[in-house]
Amino acid sequence: MEAFFHQYLQFSRTFTKKINEHIADLDLYQSQWSIVYYLQKNKTATLVEISNYFQVEKPTITRTVNRLEDRQLIEKVASADKRERRIQLTEKGLDVYDQASAVIDAFEKQLVEEIPKDDLEITFRTIQRLLFKINKEESV
Amino acid sequence: MEAFFHQYLQFSRTFTKKINEHIADLDLYQSQWSIVYYLQKNKTATLVEISNYFQVEKPTITRTVNRLEDRQLIEKVASADKRERRIQLTEKGLDVYDQASAVIDAFEKQLVEEIPKDDLEITFRTIQRLLFKINKEESV
DNA sequence: TGAAAATTAGTTACCTAGGTAACTATATAT
DNA sequence: ATATATAGTTACCTAGGTAACTAATTTTCA
């Protein structure tokens, strides 16, 4: 168990890299994909909502969203609160979602197909517990 | 299980962030730490050895090693092969290792202490299987 | 055997993604 | 009316990647 976290990060890097390779045709990156995915599920969102969901800091979200906007995959939605930047997928964004979704679903399915359901369940719950625990850590 | 990989990456980000916070006093980052750790275990190493071990590309290793060298935590070791850059920890590097090691060990131990050994074992083996599988993926 | 070809180690330049600190503008609370 | 909180941005740090390169070593084979 010595190398638990080492191995954990190893898979994380490799997974992200492979996802990036799989959607490179679409000129998309994993983190961009995750926002596209979120928007498809939630219709509209503010940057703070996205930031909270992924637990990624706001400046990072701002930048990635800007890239999606430059590529016209997302667009602004009117909002009562003038501070807010509420966004949604464009037609083009939805199209990219469909294409990326197919590729990524297949990739992920194939990745776990030989692993017993029970083991995946336990792994999922264990990571969930680790996440819960680490989020209770007082910030330094 | 829908959110398996989403949650996986979430913990990865948060874990790295927390490690960074814990060793910020030492002016160290997680990825720098991992190389310091490797060098303490293996005495000397070339950049390719480090790159292979972490499955991180050579340019990334070059840069991180340069930063460690700038801070005089590592130094060059003579090598027969003139292409190689073989390195080891300096006295200062060993000192930083000792300090970081204590902090990180405690942090990691506390993170897993409430999780049953069996669950950790299964999680470890499952990630190992995922890693094995993903590394068999033909490159795109 | 010795020149040419292929491989290996490392670097440079440049891309995206994570972070923090400090800021502006708007909305909310006092 | 003022103070505080919230949403987002800008500037700048480290870390991951790829592509293309140099220099040194190893392999090939005429």
Q: Per-residue pLDDT tens for B82-136?
A: 999 999 999 999 999 999 999 999 999 999 999 999 999 999 999 999 999 999 8
Using the beta-carbon criterion (under 8 Å), do A126 and B120 form an inter-chain contact?
Answer: yes
Using the beta-carbon criterion (under 8 Å), do B10 and A131 form an inter-chain contact?
Answer: yes
Closest C-alpha among A29, A26, A21 to residue A65: A29
**Partner residue opposite B11 with nearest CB, options A18, A34, A130:** A130
Could you report the per-residue pLDDT of B32-85, keeping only the tens digit for each? 999 999 999 999 999 999 999 999 999 999 999 999 999 999 999 999 999 999
Closest C-alpha among B90, B97, B98, B95 to residue B73: B90
Residue B108 CA to residue B116 CA, distance in Å, equals: 15
The alpha-helical segments, DSSP class H, found in chain B are: 4-22, 30-42, 47-54, 58-70, 91-112, 117-136
Nearest nt to the B12 alpha carbon by C1': C18
For residue B130, the distance in angstroms to the closest alpha carbon of chain A comes to: 7
pLDDT for A140 equals 35
The crossing angle, in degrees rounded to 10, of helices B117-136 and A4-22 is 30
**In CATH, what number is assigned to the domain containing residue B48?**
1.10.10.10
pLDDT for A9 equals 98
pLDDT for B137 equals 72
Percent share of chain B, pLDDT over 70: 96
CB of A94 nearer than 7 A to strand C = no
Percent share of chain B, pLDDT over 90: 95
| Nearby residues of A76 by Cβ (< 8 Å), 6 or more positions away | A85, A86, A87
Q: What are the chain A neighbours of B1 within 8 Å (beta carbons)?
A: 120-121, 124
Segments of chain A with pLDDT less than 50? 139-140
Instruction: Quickly state the pLDDT bin for B139 (edges 50, 70, 90).
Output: very low
Using the beta-carbon criterion (under 8 Å), do B127 and A11 form an inter-chain contact?
Answer: yes
Report yes or no: B64 and B35 within 8 Å, Cβ to Cβ: yes
Closest C-alpha among A36, A35, A37, A46 to residue A77: A46
Say how many domains are in chain B.
Answer: 1
CB of B13 nearer than 7 A to strand C = yes
Q: Which residues pair with A45 in a beta bridge?
A: A87
Q: What is the DSSP letter of A24?
A: G
Domain residue limits at B42: 4-136
Q: Give the residue nearest to nucleotide C8 (CA to C1').
A: B83
For residue A39, the distance in angstroms to the closest alpha carbon of chain B comes to: 15
The tokens describing A26, both together, are 């679409």
Span CA (A131) to C1' (C23), Å: 32
Mutate to test the interface with B, among A2, A7, A12, A26 (most CBs of B within 10 A): A12
As a whole number, the mean pLDDT across chain B is: 95
For residue A82, the distance in angstroms to the closest alpha carbon of chain B comes to: 30
